[in-house]
A and B are shown apart, each in its own frame.
Chain A
Amino acid sequence: MKALAIKTDSLTNRAPWLVTVLFLLAAYVAWLLLAPHWSVLISEATIYDVERMIALYATLPRMATALLSGAALSLSGCLLQIALKNNLASPTTLGVSAGAHLALVLASLFAPALIAYSRDLVAAIGGLTAAGLVFALVSKRNVSPVTLVLGGLVVSLYFGAAATVLTLLNDRYLASLFIWGAGSLSQQDWSIPLNLIWKLSILMALAALLVRPLAILGLGDEAAKSLGASPGNVRLWTVALAVGLAVIVTSSVGVIGFIGLAAPTLARLAGARTVISQLIWSTLIGSALLFLTDNTIQYFAGSLASLVPTGAVTALLGSPLLLLLLRKNKSLQKPQAAIESVKRASYSRTAMGLIALLPPFLLLIASIVFGRTTTGAWDILTAMPASDLVFELRMPRVLSAAAAGSLLAIAGVILQRLSGNEMASPEVVGVSSGAMLGLAFAVFFIASDQLFALILCASVGAFAIMGLIVFMNRKSGFQAERMVLAGIAFSALLDALIGALSATGDLRSLMLLRWMSGSTYGASLSSTSVLIISACLLLVSVLALVRWMEALELGAGPARSLGVPVNRARGILFLMAGLMTAAATLSVGPLSFIGLMAPHIARQLGFTRAKGQILISASAGASLMILADWIGRYGYFPYEIPSGLISALVGTPFLMFLLSRRQNGN
């Protein structure tokens, strides 16, 4: 009887109540914003009144834009979630918004005529490319929800990194895009909301046509087919429509993150059940939600309101939601089969030593010897007049790149081996982002730029995230996709935070932005020696713990019965990975993906045992970083491209490749 009562209760749709409450709250804040000017607003316009004009042409259209954008993004998210049967899908998590953004950045730099022709078209091409890329990555049928979203966020990450490179290289020109990139709803007239309203009405009407086919899709592809529907087409049209909705908003107001994820989730939690009610209530909730958020920002930010990017605020609120959903999401796929088998090669001790030492050594020399002259011509040390200085200038950078690369690589090996997850790495699971958050804290609240204080804060940040990861995974056993997705959600949070900070114009955020992109530029003799010494110490101590590591891979039970103090051993190893990440993040930023790539290179070469993998990974990490640093120094001479971004541009496709191979392999 009781069970029945609960069931009936769960059937009532409380979404209307939620919508009403949200709208009332939003309307109240809107009233607070408008009330002071109400009398002039309703009076006949006789003479010029600034406040009246602002209320009519800035405040009101901004509200309308918020209502419309919120509705469109949420409808888009809801359509994606239903069509893909994936609670985590949304324009943000599938990379659609990031794709649209990058396309607009690219077009405004290299083909302004295209933008003049049609912003929407440019954005649509970008959005569709991103979505296409995601689906190509995880093309397998019945792909797990988490994997799909993982693909989406990885694509987002990549496009985001590319947009950052462009922004850094052309900072003065793209000043506007920087504000815009985080999504600003500020308006000067009614053109954008009026424009949005007819485009969105058309798309929403089309969405209404999809209601019934979408309900059929809920029965699974086979049943849907046997009912005469064609699931492939329905899905294609729905995704196209959802992408359309998202890119229209993105091209008008920028990236407004996570509304498209939050609104459908809330609608479902409130009890919207059927396809039609989910679509309707998601749309209304999203509309109310963005309206409320934006009004609140306007109210509290006062005259700064037009500068605080609403998109960054929604992302700040929304990315933790992704983590929560991830914890709730029980419908994940079975634990993955073990790491793919690779040939296991046996090398003699000398051969291993050679492989470990030779490449980084040669690259080290090459990257010091090869350079460019003041006019940009290539040069082999001799032509540069101040050769003694050149050596002094290049040496610390190359060495700290090498040290940081190998630190990240070893941290990657530790994380991959301990979690049994081939996609783990400090950057991917968010430990680097944690270190970065620690740095942000140090810069803003301790106001210190002492190397020691910075490394300390970075370490604390890294440990905090590491602890959180262990906590989140204590039951699910470090499931690959879940872990990676959590890490990427952390990165998104970090991005949003730094986006919001930079928008306030605080000069310290410039420093953070630079760290975010990661560069050895600041390397001095002292910082380099600290890095090298810690790299050596940590390498030696990790090598001493190799037996623990291999025993732990057997699982806690067998390890314990072998006499390994399991919890302590794990704790110590994680602690070391955290320290390594923190030390390295200062030089390479949080997104280099060296810690992901290097362990794989080692394994592909046949070094599967812990010791060999650690040594060769360290060597590979150092080599990759030296190379990235060199490209960063000379690729756009005399300007510098942060090495962290270069390796991110190489590393993200590598992550995508791993992801797609997992799909094909299973």
Chain B
Amino acid sequence: MSIDRRHLIKAMAGVPIWATFPAFADSPVRIVSLDYAAAETLITLKVPPVGLQARDHWHRWVVEPALPDSVINIGQDLVVNMEVIASLKPDLIITTPYTDTLRPQLQRLAPVHKISVYDQAGTPLKNAYRETLELGWLAKRSDQAKAFLQAADHEFDTIKQSLSQHKVPPVSLVSFMDQRHVRVYGKSGLYQTVLDRLGIENAWTRPTNYWGFATVGLEELARHAPSDMHLIIFEPVLDEVKPTLAKSPIWRSMPVVEKENFTIFPPVLPFGMVPSALRFARLIRQYLQGNVS
């Protein structure tokens, strides 16, 4: 794939003007992101967005990388505050397929660019690589983006190698919605592609939605749980869930729980890009190395 040619075509199609005029290239690009995933990538590339949707919830869902204080809250993703965005005078606004319905309004404020990690292809990690390069180029951090991806690749390889010395069990990845329902992550989700990359088997092979998860009752999870699997629960877990689980016979009698083959991970953005994928890979290596022979 020739990246340069693609960019040329895009530039001709009227995308950011500074990219074609190096004279503008000094000051950092002011980007507003309607998506956490793009934001985490931009922070990693050292061009944090000036505005981000629901920034006050970042610590609950993403945590890492830390969000700089300078980032302004632009409201909820589907009803971002146009006035705030306008006053931030961004050079570029990043949307996703989910928020791209706002494009007509956003376009009046600044050029809009859609990144799609989640699409019909169901290969979010691959897409994330592609979109990272795209973001790097848009943010005038192409070199950093390439370097970051190389480092990521290297780290994935390292992790895979270190895990290959163990007998790695299948895992199931869930978030609790309430006491009785979980989101279980599977096919065409980011976690799935990370598991694939690391050569780990996902115990949940049943259908998932567009975003790569299925919302099911706890009993459904129990039904499709191989006995040797390990269960990984992501924070945030609501306070009222834990005591209920402690009493639930279905939960307690699940082999994975009886054998204590489960753990709670700190929040990892399930709809993230490469930084979240890496964060997840590190966490799972840490867990598996400590818990399997």
- Asked if B238 is an interface residue, CB under 8 A from chain A, the answer is yes
A-B contacts besides A48-B227, A389-B109, 8 pairs, CB < 8 Å: A50-B222, A54-B250, A186-B217, A307-B217, A386-B86, A389-B108, A514-B79, A637-B81
Known contacts A187-B180, A638-B73: A389-B253 contact under CB 8 Å: no
Q: Which residues of B contact A (CB under 8 A)?
A: 51, 57, 60-61, 72-76, 78-79, 81-84, 86-89, 104-105, 108-109, 177-181, 209, 215-220, 222-223, 225, 227, 238-240, 244, 247-251, 253-255, 258
* Complex-state Cα separation, A48 to B257, whole angstroms: 12
Separation in Å of the A19 CB from the closest CB of chain B? 30
A14 CB-CB contact with B under 8 Å: no
- Give Cα distance in the complex from A394 to B88, angstroms: 16
A393-B83, A638-B73 as given contacts; A306 in contact with B181, CB under 8 Å: yes
How many positions in chain A have a CB within 8 Å of any CB in the partner chain?
Answer: 56
A173 to B73, CA, bound (A): 18
CA distance A511 to B254 in the complex (A): 38
What residues on A are CB-neighbors of B84 within 8 Å? Answer: 374, 638
How far apart sit A340 and B248, CA to CA, in the bound complex (Å)?
60
Whether A639 touches B177, Cβ cut-off 8 Å, given contacts A54-B223, A394-B83, is no
Q: Is A112 an interface residue (CB 8 A)?
A: yes
A176, A191, A386, A389: the one contacting B178 at CB < 8 Å is: A176
A108 to B238 alpha-carbon distance, docked (Å): 11
* Chain B CB within 8 A of A443 CB: no
Q: Which residue of A lies closest to B98 (CB)?
A: A507
Beta-carbon nearest neighbor of A383 in chain B = B87
Q: Which residues of B contact A665 (CB under 8 A)?
A: none
Q: Is the CB of B181 within 8 A of A307?
A: yes
A374 near B72 with CB under 8 A, answer yes
Query: Given A53-B250, A303-B216, are A389 and B86 also a contact pair (CB < 8 Å)?
Result: yes
Give the docked Cα–Cα distance between A382 and B157 (Å). 55
Q: Is A548 an interface residue (CB 8 A)?
A: no
State how many angstroms separate the Cβ of B45 from the closest Cβ of chain A. Answer: 23
> How many angstroms from the CA of A50 to the CA of B108 in the assembled complex?
56
Question: Does chain B have a CB within 8 A of A533?
Answer: no
* Bound-complex Cα distance A223 to B219 (A): 56
Known: A115-B240, A510-B78, A639-B76. A384 touches B248 (CB 8 A): no
Q: Contact at B104–A57, with CB atoms within 8 Å?
A: no
- Rounded to whole Å, the gap between the CB of B284 and the closest CB of chain A is 24
Are the CB atoms of A176 and B249 closer together than 8 Å?
no
Query: What is the chain A residue whose CB lies nearest that of B60?
Result: A172
For B60, list chain A residues within 8 Å (CB).
172
Residue of A nearest to B227 (CB): A48
Contacts A393-B86, A638-B73 known; A189 to B249 CB distance under 8 Å? yes
Q: Is the CB of A303 within 8 A of B79?
A: no
Contact partners of A58 in chain B: CB under 8 A = 217-219, 250
* Interchain CB contact under 8 A, A189 and B250: yes
Q: Which residue of A lies closest to B248 (CB)?
A: A188
Q: Does A36 contact B (CB under 8 A)?
A: no
Shortest C-beta distance, B88 to chain A (Å), equals 7
Tell me the residues in window 174-203 of chain A with beta carbons closer than 8 Å to chain B beta carbons.
175-177, 179-180, 184, 186-191
Residue A640 is within 8 A (CB to CB) of chain B in the complex: yes
Determine whether the beta carbon of B81 is less than 8 Å from that of A306: no
**CB–CB A371/B225 < 8 A:** no
A115 to chain B, nearest CB (A): 7
* Residues in A623-640 with C-beta less than 8 Å from chain B: 633, 637-640
Q: Interface digits, A315-354 against B, CB 8 Å rule (1 contact, 0 not)?
A: 0000000000000000000000000000000000000000
Write 19 A-B pairs (CB below 8 A) sorted by A numbering: A50-B223, A53-B222, A56-B249, A58-B217, A108-B240, A116-B239, A171-B76, A172-B60, A173-B238, A188-B180, A303-B220, A307-B216, A386-B89, A389-B86, A394-B83, A514-B78, A522-B105, A637-B81, A638-B81
